[in-house]
Structure 1
């Protein structure tokens, strides 16, 4: 019997599609499995290479299949798409995954542990709560603006608006409007309370974990950024250098080369948008401190003299990403002094 060497597995909620080939690339398996049959199937067959798209639930299935002795490779969905032939269906997707996983130059996604996925859930839950709080605050501000009631920008100023809504003696707010807006103020307070709880967990974890503690020693990298890096970068050694890591995050300029001439454009914004956003925000905070008189490196001082604020923030975020990669791969601690801050 011809042995299966490579299987492309297209996952779903209930029905899973398999496409298997032998060592010569000949198709010898096309099959659908119910969710409850997947692990039973892989338990019976000899060890082989199993490819999956890195989508929802993929890391769980990858861990389970790997535990059965198979070599599991996760592929970014964007790298699978070019191998899909005419017609979009599960069978075509499974065949495309099987074809892509065997390419020698293919790039794969490192497998995440349960702990790393849990950290990612914590971050995503916080992000969702922040967005929902922002939406509710904007709604409250918008309604009160219709009545000529405004306040300064910022989450901290929302308490002033909430006090107006609760003050039954404030004649500027009609009774019906107060009834409508009170639930919004309660919702904002509930969101804030839950966000604070999640952030306390992140801070506690960053202090207890040695790697996170080393990352937070970098100016501009706080507990949330460090936790995000730990959750979304399971294997930093997969990147050849700090520049490759910064490019993966999307902090390097796009390159347009033709006829021996290379033109660099705006940053690519590829990779993980959460990490990129957090690093840029952290870099902006460092620059704000520099503008207020804080001592920074000569490199950053010269950069701020020559370049606009946003360009400097991106450049500093790029440097921070390279330092993060160096600490993760090579170990050690980042030492910040008046003459060396962000100069590494």
Structure 2
């Protein structure tokens, strides 16, 4: 039996598919493994290249397989899909992964450490709590509106409604409805406390990360964006330039060019949706602040907003922030305020 050099591993919850080849491309092994059989199987093999799609549990298996002496490469599933021949199944997927991992132009996903995944889990948990808070507030407003009780939009309006529910003196609310509203108000208070706790934990982690603190010097970048960038990008040198990072986040325009004619459309919205939304919100805060204080520090933004809408300017500024962040992370530099252009 010849030595296996490359393996495509299709991971799942319980059943894993292995497709291994030798240096000449001949198929050596094609079999299924139960979850408990995966690590014992790979411990028996000499070091080889293992390709895995970057999906759920991929980073865990990548770390475990690297511990037993293998080189693991994670790939975006959309880059593997073209190599599936036909009749999609586990065996065909593993073969496609094995084929894709050998391509010299393939792009790979850096393996995240447990600490980085923990920080991202904090971000996702906080985002889940925020969505629950919004749903609870909308439910309270909608239920009270059925009894003719309406408050103004924003935080003060919600606080007015919660105060009315707590006092329980409004005769328009029947007792059964008041009990339901009290339960919703208690749930809302608990979710708010959980959001504050998640913020506290993120700030505590941010104090231990030098890179995160350096990124906060960029206009529009606060602790939330800085910690998300550091946790999402284990190795910035995986990207050749800041534009590659912006493309990964989905902040560059789509291209549909042919016959020498270049056509650019809206942004791709590919890649990391959470980072993209954070960067756009940060860019909007810079624009809002610039409107209040004047555009003296942002002449580039002034010229852009003279010919484009606020939303387009925010996307362009978010793209610029991502490029600056890549340069600072890749070269280990601090933020330098751009010098004004000479007359």
**TM-score under structure 1 length normalisation:** 0.95
**Counterpart residue number, 2:320:** 319
1:311 alignment partner, SS class = helix
Kindly provide the CA deviation profile for residues 31-88 of structure 1, in whole angstroms up to 9, marking residues without a partner as x: 1111111111111111111111111111111111111111111111111111122222
What aligned pairs does 1:212-231 form with structure 2 within 5 A after superposition?
A: 212-231=212-231
2:266 alignment partner, SS class = strand
Distance 1:307 1:137, change over 3 A: same
1:73 alignment partner, SS class = strand
Kindly provide the CA deviation profile for residues 164-192 of structure 1, in whole angstroms up to 9, marking residues without a partner as x: 11222122322221111111111111111
Query: What is the distance in 1 between the residues matched to 2:230 and 2:156?
Result: 30
**Counterpart residue number, 2:28:** 28
Distance 1:156 1:111, change over 3 A: farther
2:96 alignment partner, SS class = helix
Query: What is the distance in 1 between the residues matched to 2:50 and 2:156?
Result: 51
**Counterpart residue number, 1:15:** 15
**Counterpart residue number, 2:329:** 328
Q: CA offset at residue 208 of structure 1?
A: 2.9
Query: What is the distance in 2 between the residues matched to 1:322 and 1:227?
Result: 16
Query: What is the distance in 1 between the residues matched to 2:297 and 2:174?
Result: 53
**Counterpart residue number, 1:207:** 207
Query: What is the distance in 2 between the residues matched to 1:77 and 1:141?
Result: 42
The reply on whether 1:187 has 2:187 as its aligned counterpart is yes
Distance 1:29 1:155, change over 3 A: farther
Aligned residues: 340
2:276 alignment partner, SS class = helix
Q: CA offset at residue 278 of structure 1?
A: 0.2
Query: What is the distance in 1 between the residues matched to 2:225 and 2:155?
Result: 21
Query: What is the distance in 2 between the residues matched to 1:104 and 1:174?
Result: 69
Contact persistence 1:7–1:48 (CA under 8 A): yes
1:143 alignment partner, SS class = helix
**Counterpart residue number, 1:61:** 61
Kindly provide the CA deviation profile for residues 144-164 of structure 1, in whole angstroms up to 9, marking residues without a partner as x: 122222223234532211111
Query: What is the distance in 1 between the residues matched to 2:123 and 2:32?
Result: 35
Q: Which runs of 5+ in 2 are unaligned?
A: none
Query: What is the distance in 2 between the residues matched to 1:174 and 1:55?
Result: 49
Q: CA offset at residue 261 of structure 1?
A: 0.5
CA RMSD of aligned residues (A): 1.6
Contact persistence 1:129–1:191 (CA under 8 A): yes
Q: CA offset at residue 332 of structure 1?
A: 2.0
Query: What is the distance in 1 between the residues matched to 2:157 and 2:41?
Result: 59
The reply on whether 1:52 has 2:52 as its aligned counterpart is yes
Contact persistence 1:166–1:178 (CA under 8 A): no
**Counterpart residue number, 2:148:** 148
**Counterpart residue number, 1:86:** 86
Report the more deviating stretch, 41-50 or 275-284: 41-50
Report the more deviating stretch, 111-120 or 326-335: 326-335
Distance 1:48 1:156, change over 3 A: farther
Query: What is the distance in 2 between the residues matched to 1:169 and 1:312?
Result: 49
**Counterpart residue number, 1:304:** 305
Query: What is the distance in 1 between the residues matched to 2:160 and 2:337?
Result: 39
**Counterpart residue number, 1:133:** 133
Q: Which runs of 5+ in 1 are unaligned?
A: none
2:263 alignment partner, SS class = strand
Query: What is the distance in 2 between the residues matched to 1:78 and 1:247?
Result: 15
Report the more deviating stretch, 232-241 or 152-161: 152-161
Query: What is the distance in 1 between the residues matched to 2:125 and 2:168?
Result: 35
Report the more deviating stretch, 19-28 or 274-283: 19-28
